[in-house]
Amino acid sequence: MRDIARTFAPKPLAAAVHRYRFLPLCLALGVAPLVHAQQATEEEAPPSTAAAVAASPEAAVSTTQLQRIEVTGSAIRRVDAETAVPVTILRAEQLQKEGVRTTEELVSRIVASQSNYNASRAVGESTGGASFADMRGIGANKTLVLLNGRRLANNAIDGSAVDLNTIPFAALDRVEILRDGASALYGTDAIGGVINFITKTSVTDGQVSMGYDYPTHSGGGESRNFNGSWGFGDLENDRFNVFGVLNYDKQHHLSAIDRSFTKDYQPERGLNGTSGRAFPATYNQNGFSENPAAASGCSGPNLINANGNCRYSTRSYIDALPETEKTSIFSKATGKLGDDHNVSLDYFWARNNNTTIIGPSLVTGLEINPGTSFYPGNGITPAPTSFAIDPTQPVGVDFRQEATGARVQYDQNTSQRLQLTFDGNVAGWDYNVGASYNENKVVSSLHSGYTDDELITEGIANGTLNPFGEQTQAGLNLLNSSNLSGDYQTAVGRVKAVDGRVSREIGDWFGAGPSALAIGGEFRKEEFSTSIEEWAGNLSSLGVDPAGSVSADRHVSAEYAELNVPVLDSLELTAAVRHDKYSDVGGTTNPKYSFRFQPIKELVVRGAYSEGFRAPSLYELYNPNFITWTAGDYNDPALCSGGNAAAGGLASRDCSQQFRNRSGGNQDLAPETARNVTLGFVYQPVRNLSVGLDFWWIDISGQIEEFPEASVFDNPETYSDRIVRAADGSIDYIVTGLANLGKVKTNGVDVTLDYRFPTSPYGQFGLTLQGTVVNRYDYQEQKGGAYIDNVGNYASGGDGRVVARWKHALTASWAKGPYSASLTNRFQSRYRDYDTEGHERVASYSVWDLSASYTWNKTLDLDVGVKNLFDRDPPFSNQADTFQSGYDPRYTDPLGRTLFTRATYHF
């Protein structure tokens, strides 16, 4: 590595040191919002020391220990602390002290991530327990997630993004978030930004850590964590280093019934999350219906009397927080092939086991034949009182199989990566070359509560099963024999890749410092396959089609170049261009231009313009179509307009119901295109204070999203082709699936503040703020359609997106000797709810976390704290995109106040 003086020659060394001045402040505060500090550590001299060193020729040699650093968002290695693009750094060690224990929870601290950071907590999401990052709220498929600067395999079930839960949390050193489009460098899917998870580079000692989180409310939800690491070999002295990290985390489930805010029937607020498919079943014939429990006021387990209609509540079955078990291993071996050449081989393996519990299974559209045991009015089941049955005709029912209990599904999500890299310097060129194999495999299994539809249909028709009351022994025997369990779907995604890049200085063109050039390329093969067992087709509630097993692959090649040119002492310009070629959708070339201007020593002005192109993923193109149930409850716009059954309609069938929904991939998808603009200001009026404003604008055309199910019911005339009706006029199913929905236009500003108070006898105090204001988020549901405002409004687009107008994380820190503490406030502003009947807005959500740490003799670390210090319940929401009711599990935490403790022993 070349030293700092040589890099900036012939500029005065003091000027070079000044450009580095922001870094020590950020490091001291535990955050570094603007720099990828690969070589920087807290041991570097503060600015005042560096300036003193620069003043004497004899001391100048010591400054050469500051080596060039590689900036996320640039392929060029450099010594500058401030870059032309905004980067946030979160350090794993500090977050662990604050009680963060998973990668998913870590990403929830990124205020620029607007959506779905708790997706694995949302029961009803078809992701196999996965969770995704979503920068700017424009979709997880437009946020590029890297591990040590290289790609991972996307989640095999929802194959458009990387599952955060498969990233080995205990092995992380830091996370670098590029809050800007980076398609010109990292690939066409980096439209919303880049999140680069960086592991420890070497370990020469050992440590073990154990932690326990315990909610102060009863009912479960506690978690346990263990991790350990050990390594040996000093890379400089021994010329090798080998280390490994093991992590295990167990999150116990929390039942919805153990929290008061999870009620699914609150008519005064317009919430009715119950189901018309009840037990006992509602019978219907010739357009009339009645539930046998209506005479008793709908008394009975799990029954709700909703204006005289007996409806079924699944609250006693559903989890507010599913049970998860995460295990990961990361290992790395590094050796020196020469003074300037290294080789490393790393491997990680991660497994996430996720258990989901929902209400008892149901089969719809069944018929009870006349003369059978449980035919209404036949001696056991009472005849209806509101209408007369024709005893010569069958009676229709929907059978809720309460006797079989809750449906329990188990997903095993396994990821692994093997990677070989070479890096070093040849003839002034820094090089980095690598090859990797990435795989994600999700195996979905049924544990209990699922039964064969054909056997159930036959059992209802011939009178063996009783849909209205207690089962006979023959009925129980049939239910037991119809039970289906075992692995029903296996999905695999693979990425095999080779890549390389070189960079070097190429001369001082304008007398303002050396220009630099980087050139790189990659080639990868993407593979996707899913196989479904034949017997799974006998489960309509499962929503899979055995005929839909698919396999697809493609090749992607790319070449890129980046040029950085200082044109003045205060101004440097950077240009980059990348060409990507997909074997199935063609090629694209995307540029990026940026500048960094420092008119005075206290102020940096920066900006960038880039273009993006995202090809639809293999999953989005080839995922098989299937029929499942809508996540929310809706009214048939023709047969139950306004919530009241019309002529020919049935309240039990057409009002406030889950309807069947056909979804899946779409081979006619076109690529998305985008333009990104950023303009930022970083101001340091005094030594210990740094303030930043970064404005951003993103325009996307042809956005690929799941067509929103709610829009089909809200606009039945516009989307009449998406409503397929049965012969009797009722809805058979609706059609959603992936589509190019139109344009997205969004802009806002990121706010950062870092302040370190003057040193006092009471210790070192600091204050950090990271916030994001979204000024605009307008999207179209179809090309050329009207724009819908999503800022501060719940949008039923795709995943039920919420774009908060303001989010922030505010942290006050204190340190003195072996003691430290922090107080953090995480805030999200209020927004207009999906269904505003009875209430209009979801209240703001503000959570305070308190933590304290003590280090004894550099051997034992003790961390204790409280998450959600003031025990804030999630605000009420009438969202209809998850099975949980009364709140939105994707943006809030149902646990309430939670105590945590963690002990780490170093050896």
- Whether residue 686 is contained in a domain is answered as yes
Check residue 57 and give its pLDDT.
32
Range with the poorest average pLDDT among 85-94, 178-187, 660-669, 709-718: 178-187
- Whether residue 299 is contained in a domain is answered as no
Predicted confidence (pLDDT) per residue in 800-857, tens digit? 678 899 999 999 999 999 999 999 999 999 999 887 777 889 999 999 999 999 999 9
- Asked if residue 794 has pLDDT above 90, the reply is no
Q: How far apart are alpha carbons 481 and 503 in whole angstroms?
A: 67
Supply the angle between the helices 473-481 and 453-461 in degrees, to the nearest 10.
160
Please return the burial class of 251, using the count of CB atoms within 10 Å of its CB with bins 0-12, 13-18 and 19+. buried
Check residue 838 and give its pLDDT.
73
How many percent of the chain have pLDDT more than 90? 59
Q: How far apart are alpha carbons 8 and 83 in whole angstroms?
A: 16
Q: 637 to each of 23, 100, 706, 735, how far by Cα in Å?
A: 59, 46, 21, 15
Instruction: Read off the pLDDT of each residue in 206-233 and give the average, rounded to a whole number.
Output: 95
Range with the poorest average pLDDT among 68-72, 86-90, 506-510, 628-632: 68-72
Is 741 within 8 Å of 782 (Cβ atoms)? yes
pTM for this structure?
0.85
- Asked if residue 65 has pLDDT above 50, the reply is no
Q: How far apart are alpha carbons 824 and 380 in whole angstroms?
A: 62
Give the bridge partners for 360, in sequence order: 406
Check residue 72 and give its pLDDT.
57
Q: 26 to each of 23, 91, 805, 821, 883, how far by Cα in Å?
A: 5, 11, 27, 17, 42
- Asked if residue 564 has pLDDT above 80, the reply is yes
| φ, ψ of residue 501 in degrees (nearest 5) | -150, 150
Residue 278 half-sphere exposure, CB side, CA atoms within 13 Å?
A: 33
- Whether residue 476 is contained in a domain is answered as no
Check residue 51 and give its pLDDT.
29
- Identify the residue with better confidence: 406 or 128: 406
Check residue 35 and give its pLDDT.
34
Torsion of the alpha carbons at 132, 138, 141 and 142, rounded to the nearest 10: -110
Range with the poorest average pLDDT among 125-134, 156-165, 664-673, 757-766: 125-134
- Whether residue 427 is contained in a domain is answered as yes
Predicted confidence (pLDDT) per residue in 369-387, tens digit? 999 999 999 889 999 988 8
Q: In residues, how long is the chain?
A: 907
Q: 750 to each of 144, 148, 261, 808, how far by Cα in Å?
A: 19, 25, 33, 10
Residue 190: closest CA among 180, 200, 175, 199: 180
Range with the poorest average pLDDT among 89-93, 222-226, 440-444: 89-93
Q: Provide the domain limits for residue 330.
A: 87-256+321-358+410-449+486-625+664-703+741-906
Check residue 307 and give its pLDDT.
83
Check residue 70 and give its pLDDT.
54
Is 158 within 8 Å of 120 (Cβ atoms)? no
Check residue 32 and give its pLDDT.
32
Check residue 126 and give its pLDDT.
59
> What domain count does the chain have?
1
Residue 536 DSSP symbol: G
Check residue 31 and give its pLDDT.
31
- Identify the residue with better confidence: 128 or 46: 128
Q: Which CATH number characterizes residue 819's domain? A: 2.40.170.20
Instruction: Read off the pLDDT of each residue in 573-585 and give the average, rounded to a whole number.
Output: 93
- Whether residue 65 is contained in a domain is answered as no
Please return the burial class of 749, using the count of CB atoms within 10 Å of its CB with bins 0-12, 13-18 and 19+. middle
Check residue 619 and give its pLDDT.
83
Q: Which amino acid is at 858?
A: K
Is 144 within 8 Å of 189 (Cβ atoms)? yes
List all residues 6 or more positions away from 111 whose beta carbon is below 8 Å from its beta carbon: 750, 770, 771, 772, 807, 808, 809
Instruction: Read off the pLDDT of each residue in 215-235 and give the average, rounded to a whole number.
Output: 94
Residue 777 sits at the vertex; the CA angle it makes with 772 and 781, to the nearest 5 degrees, is 150
Q: Which amino acid is at 353?
A: N
Q: 95 to each of 115, 134, 175, 811, 855, how far by Cα in Å?
A: 21, 20, 11, 11, 16
- Identify the residue with better confidence: 300 or 45: 300
- Asked if residue 567 has pLDDT above 70, the reply is yes
**Beta strands 660-663; 731-735: pairing state:** parallel
Q: How far apart are alpha carbons 433 and 520 in whole angstroms?
A: 9
Q: 277 to each of 43, 538, 740, 742, how far by Cα in Å?
A: 65, 19, 34, 36
- Asked if residue 21 has pLDDT above 60, the reply is no
Residue 59 DSSP symbol: G
- Identify the residue with better confidence: 449 or 784: 449
Q: How far apart are alpha carbons 851 and 898 in whole angstroms?
A: 12
Is 145 within 8 Å of 164 (Cβ atoms)? yes
Helix (H, G, I), strand (E, B) or coil at 886: strand
Structure-token pair, residue 45: 């001299």
Gyration radius from the chain CA atoms: 30
**Beta strands 626-629; 283-285: pairing state:** unpaired
Range with the poorest average pLDDT among 157-171, 292-306, 509-523, 710-724: 157-171
How many percent of the chain have pLDDT more than 70? 89
- Whether residue 118 is contained in a domain is answered as yes
In the chain the first and final C-alpha atoms are separated, in Å, by: 32
Check residue 55 and give its pLDDT.
33
Check residue 3 and give its pLDDT.
29
- Whether residue 501 is contained in a domain is answered as yes
Predicted confidence (pLDDT) per residue in 42-51, tens digit? 333 333 333 2
Instruction: Read off the pLDDT of each residue in 118-147 and give the average, rounded to a whole number.
Output: 77
List all residues 6 or more positions away from 638 whose beta carbon is below 8 Å from its beta carbon: 646, 649, 716, 729
Mean pLDDT of the chain: 85
Instruction: Read off the pLDDT of each residue in 511-533 and give the average, rounded to a whole number.
Output: 94
- Whether residue 5 is contained in a domain is answered as no
> How far does CA 41 lie from the centroid of its chain?
30
- Identify the residue with better confidence: 47 or 431: 431
- Asked if residue 168 has pLDDT above 90, the reply is no
- Asked if residue 89 has pLDDT above 80, the reply is yes
The model's confidence at residue 115, banded by pLDDT at 50, 70 and 90, is low
| φ, ψ of residue 46 in degrees (nearest 5) | -70, 165
